[in-house]
Every structure is written in structure tokens, then in C-alpha cells.
Amino acid sequence: MAMEQTIYRELKATPGVWQMAALLLAFLAAAAGAWFYMEHHGHAVTGMDNQIVWGLPHVFAIFLIVAASGALNVASIASVFGQTAYKPMARFSSLLAITLLVGGLAIVVLDLGRADRLIVAMTTYNFSSIFAWNVLLYNGFIAVVAVYLVMQMMRRLDYKWVRLAGLVAFLWRLALTTGTGSIFGWLVARPGYDAAIMAPLFIVMSFSFGLAMFILVTLALFKLNNRPFGDQLLVRMGRLLGIFAAAVLYFTVVQHLTNLYAAEHGGVERFILLEGGIYTLLFWGVQVIVGGLIPIALVFLNPSRSSTILAAILVVIGGFAQVYVIVIGGQAYPLEIFPGYEVLEGWHEGVVNPYTPSIWELMLGLGGVALALFAAGVGAKVLRVLPTNLSDSNVAAKG
């Protein structure tokens, strides 16, 4: 199989593809139903309240938004950093980045108290708000990556323009994740958030979650169409995932060490690391061990196809737990409004705020994931973004 060219072909509509589409549509229908129910009754029917104002939908949304910018990594590695082995996957990487972002944003928008006023959010900006900037960053990301994707698909275009578009998209995605991290990093009021490290932490999280999502979605689509994906290539991507997962752990360590050093943040650290119940369990058990140490061990100690797939699944699970701990755990820990006083009576003062997500929030969140995957599938079905053959001999022949 010497010197075979990379050929991009639309996904074939096999029965497996139809079944997958039907499954995702079922999730989308469930999410639509959940949204109508929440919209009709108000947020009273959710587990969210005046203490836990952002709940499970936001965990899903932030995970998807963070993963979206990371899913673009594969394309960036090819166009910006010149790794030719990644080049055949660059198109789908761009497409997946867009659809993951759309899925995440759909959740955020549908969770708004007044989702009907989306037009206000899109036309009225308060530029001192990082949220308003994020609206621009997200919309801009979709536009920039769409242009980048189109340029990759124009065969006659000089490759230097693709490189340039790739560079713009790469820089944009760094800005986007900085913005997402700053949603939390700039909240001075809450001890669990207020930290400059949030922005870089979110960037390494995006590297890790995005690559894991890309590996899983791409492999699933390849399997549905019986297209070969080489073991060596997968193991190579697994190693990269391991490095990213280790970087997330490193930033997490720095985040908590910095907080531990400041006496004023001692309380929230004790909460997350020791006494936070579900949050402590999610942090150590799921985020650090399942989503960090195990996948790193898998890809470096036993590099193989199955190790890489398992590692990617674990990174996704651990990443979800990490976002949950940040978003919900940060709100569950009480605000200290009266330092030096014990609050005998008040409005949920000084107590850990309970949160039990409702089924509606879960359905909405899963709907966002389904939307992202469905849109990626439809994109692969109508656009020539997926290569027909990523077997090792084929990749090596070009490399």
C-alpha cells in the first residue's frame, strides 16, 4: 500500500450510522421536552436555586465548550506545528470543534431564565463583562474555524493560507478558553474561584478533554464505516493525551497549593480536599485518580490501542468530574460575609449549600452532548472531512 493519497469521503449511511442517528435524535427529543417543561414552570422544577445558581446544565455546557477549543488541537498540530501525521484528521478536528461549541452554547442558552431574549444577549453588550466578551469570542470562534475548515477543503489553495488560518484559529481558541476560565477566575466574591490560574488551567483542561473527545468521536465514526485507523497513530495520540492529562494534574496541584498557602482560602481547600463529601470524592476519586493517574499510567506503561481508548474515556469522565467540582463545588462552599462571627440565623448563611440535580437538567445536558455529536455526524455525512484510510502504513507513507 505504498503512497496512497489521503482521500476524504462522506460518511456512508450504514445501518449502524442510522441507529446512532436515531439514538442521538431520541436524546435531542428528550432534551427538547425537558426544556419546554422547565421553560413553562420556571427553574422551580430544577435542582438549581438561589445558592447553587449554576447547576448540571452548566457543567455539561462548560465541559463541551472547553472540549470544543481542545478538539481543534489536532488541526492546530497539523497546520501550525507542521505534524503531517495529524493532517488527514485536521478537517474533522475543525468540524468537531464547531459542533462541540454549538452543543455547549445550546445548553447555556436554553438554561437562561429568559431564553426568548437571546436577541438581547446578541445585540446588547456590556463590555466590562467577560460574559459579553465570551459571546463575541464564541461567535467569532465558529466563524474563524468555519473559514479555516473551508480553506482546508479548497484543494487548489496554497497551503500557506491554510497555515495562516490555522494560526488565527489557534490564537482565537486560546483567547476563547482564557475567556471561559475567566468567567470563574474573575469572580472575586467566591473563594473557590477567584484565581488567575483559572484561565491557564482551563486551557490545559481543553487540550486534554478536547483530544479525548476527538479520539472517541473519530474512532466511533471510523468504526461505523469500517475505515481503518492505525494502532501506531492511535498510540501516538494516546501519548499526547497522557502528556495533556499530566499537565492538567500539574495545574490542579498548583491551583490548590496556591490556595492552601493563602490562609483566607484555607476553608474552601479543606472543603474540596477533605470534608466536602461528594466534591471531595469527585476530586480525588474521579478527577485525580480515574481521570488523571490511571489514564497516564495506561498510555505510558501499557501503550496499546485499547489502553488509549480506555484512557480517552477516563479522561472524559474525569474531566466532567473536574468541571463539576469547580462549578458546583465552588458554589456549595458558603460565602463568608461576616468574618469572625458565627451566624445563628440568616439565609443559608455559613452552611454548605445542598444540590441535587433534577432529571430535567440531566436531559438538557445530555441533549447538548447529543446535539454536538449529531451535528458532527451530519457534518461528516455531507462534507468530505473524514479520510477513508488512516492505517499506519498509509500515514507513514506520507509522513
Partner 1 sequence: MTNRAELTRRDIMKSGAAAATVTLASGVTLMAFGGTAAEASGRADSGKRWGLLIDASKCSPDCNDCVTACKTENGWGQDIESDHISSEQAPEWIRKVTLRDKSTGRTTSAPVMCQHCEEPPCVDVCPTGASMKRADGIVLVDKHICIGCRYCMMACPYKARSFVHEPITDQPEQNPRGKGTVESCNLCAPRIDSGRIPACVEACEKAGHSAILFGDLKDPDSPISKALKQYPNAALREDLELNPGVRYTNL
For partner 1, the binding residues (CB under 8 A) are 41-44, 49-54, 108, 112-115, 117-118, 120-121, 124-126, 128-132, 135, 183, 186-190, 331, 335, 337-338, 340-349, 353-354
Least distance (Å) from partner 1 to the CB of residue 47?
Answer: 9
What is the residue whose three cell numbers read 470562534? 141
Least distance (Å) from partner 1 to the CB of residue 278?
Answer: 17
Least distance (Å) from partner 1 to the CB of residue 262?
Answer: 12
Least distance (Å) from partner 1 to the CB of residue 77?
Answer: 33
Least distance (Å) from partner 1 to the CB of residue 243?
Answer: 33
DSSP 82-113: --GGGGGGHHHHHHHHHHHHHHHHHHHHHHST
The alpha carbon torsion through 116, 120, 123, 129 (nearest 10 deg) reads: -120
Positive or negative, the Cα torsion across 80, 82, 83, 85? positive
46 phi and psi angles, rounded to 5 deg: -95, 175
Nearer to partner 1, 10 or 39 (CB): 39
Least distance (Å) from partner 1 to the CB of residue 7?
Answer: 45
Name 390's bridge partners.
229
Least distance (Å) from partner 1 to the CB of residue 117?
Answer: 5
Nearer to partner 1, 183 or 312 (CB): 183
* Nearby residues of 136 by Cβ (< 8 Å), 6 or more positions away: 125
Instruction: Name the nearest CA neighbour of 363 among 31, 55, 24.
Output: 31
On whether the CB atoms of residues 374 and 24 are closer than 8 A, the answer is yes
Give the C-alpha separation, 71 to 97, whole Å: 5
Nearer to partner 1, 178 or 331 (CB): 331
Other Cβ atoms less than 10 A from the Cβ of 372: the count is: 29
Least distance (Å) from partner 1 to the CB of residue 255?
Answer: 19
Instruction: Name the nearest CA neighbour of 180 among 107, 124, 247, 130.
Output: 130
Give the C-alpha separation, 171 to 351, whole Å: 42
| Backbone conformation region of residue 52, classed left if phi is above 0, alpha if psi is from -120 to 50, else beta | beta
Least distance (Å) from partner 1 to the CB of residue 124?
Answer: 5
Nearer to partner 1, 187 or 243 (CB): 187
Spacing of C-alpha 89 from chain mean position: 19
The grid coordinates of residue 265 equal 482560602
On whether the CB atoms of residues 318 and 338 are closer than 8 A, the answer is no
Least distance (Å) from partner 1 to the CB of residue 140?
Answer: 15
Task: Name the DSSP letter for residue 362.
Answer: H
DSSP 171-212: HHHHHHHHHHHHHHHT-TT-TTT--TTHHHHHHHHHHHHHHH
Instruction: Name the nearest CA neighbour of 141 among 201, 205, 97.
Output: 97
